[in-house]
Amino acid sequence: MKKKCVLCGGALRDGICTECGMDNRKSDDMYYERINRQECKTEDLSHVHNEKNAAQKYKPPVMNQTRKETQAGGERQEKQRSHETGKSGKKAHNSRTQRKSPWQEKRRSYAGRGKKSPGIKGGRDILSLLIIGGVLLVAIGRASSQSYEDDSSYQLETESDLEAEEYVPYDWTEISEGEIPEAGETWDMEMEAGFYQVGTDIPEGIYTLSGRKGSSYRVEDRLRGISVQEYFGDPAYGIETAEGVKLFDGSVVYIEGLHPVSFHTENAQTGQMKQKTANPLTESFQLSPDGNVLIAGEDFPAGVYDVYAEGQETIGMFCCELQYIRDQEDLSISNYIMMGAGTEEYPEYSTSYKNLVLTEGSAISADYVQFILRPSSEILTDDYYSYYENSY
């Protein structure tokens, strides 16, 4: 008979350590014998018992289903399982049956076999295992720490791996589709956050773009296979300037951020610019962050709007699901515009967004910030679907 605890050397009383509480009567042979005495030894170790004490394969809990279940809910669950495992062999879809958590199933398995659930003795066993595990972890941690300190080359290599790689700017010379005349006019403009078309708002040309931290530009030209977006600011994820940006007639340009983006070119094709006309819309309206969704053509007229953030909320989102038709096919674009009161702390959030085209059926909503939509002063056409023909 053991007289001292094998873990801490403390005195034993009926095999239980009076110092740490470890049960020194336990042994691997005893555990093995008890496991082999179980009536369900032929089942998988992960099996559970149902309400009828029948063994079944354990199924992990499904996300977004409640863990609590009323008695009536349990009856519905039993019926659902019977339905799912019927003669057809097909599972029912969109099932909303609730499942017990693994802990509830474990408690049920004890009750189903007519045995008592683990009590104080089981708690002592768990405590003992935790103490043993803690001692082992401390020993392993000390050994690992000493090994790491001795291996300086490993430390240097790890720090090198953590260094961030700088962003590589897009190479616009790779675009060979189409040619832009070298001769043209000098054109400079500060473009605020908004939606712009080359040949209407911006002349065709080869540009140098620059901006402050938080601002970005995106060029889309489906006909030429162009879809490029770059951010200004931190070199780890953005650029200071974009050189040789080829803007072809018909391309779409999106600008976002608190600060405008500067456009400069020496070969602007201003002679090809299309003329805008006055916007037929005159009525403004508000969009509140109350969870309501407004539909263009139902709650407000479809058209071209300038969007402005109102209030002191610094971070908000203007959400829109834009509908359009291409080749007689109904399509949509999800656009989430970051907007707010406008602070240097959050330069990615603009205070306004120009020339947003809301086509018939487009849905808009607001998060955190209240917006006011005012009709833009000029438009190219009232065929609002055509604005997105060259977008992705």
What does the pLDDT look like over 202-257, one tens digit per residue? Answer: 999 999 999 999 999 999 999 899 999 999 987 777 898 999 999 999 999 999 99
CATH of 277-388, one of 3.50.50.60, 3.40.309.10, 3.90.550.10, 2.60.120.340: 2.60.120.340
Q: For domain 172-272, give the fold.
A: Jelly Rolls (2.60.120)
Q: Where in the chain is the domain with CATH 2.60.120.340?
A: 277-388
Which two three-digit tokens encode residue 129? 């295992």
- For the chain, 392 residues long, give each residue's pLDDT as a single digit of tens: 456 777 777 777 767 777 777 777 655 554 444 445 455 555 655 556 666 666 676 565 554 444 444 444 444 444 444 444 444 443 333 333 333 333 333 333 333 333 333 444 455 566 566 667 666 665 666 555 554 445 444 444 444 444 456 678 888 888 876 789 999 999 999 999 999 999 999 999 999 999 999 999 999 999 899 999 999 987 777 898 999 999 999 999 999 999 999 999 999 999 989 999 999 999 999 999 998 999 999 999 999 999 999 999 999 999 999 988 877 788 888 899 999 999 999 999 999 999 999 999 999 999 999 999 999 999 999 999 999 988 88
C-beta separation of 309 from 371 below 8 A = yes
Alpha carbons 213 and 235: distance in angstroms, whole number: 10
pTM across the whole model: 0.59
Q: Is the dihedral of CA 188, 193, 199, 205 positive or negative?
A: positive
pLDDT per residue over 110-134, tens digit each? 333 333 334 444 555 665 666 676 6
Contact 48, 58 (CB under 8 A): yes
Tell me the C-alpha distance between 131 and 125, whole Å.
10
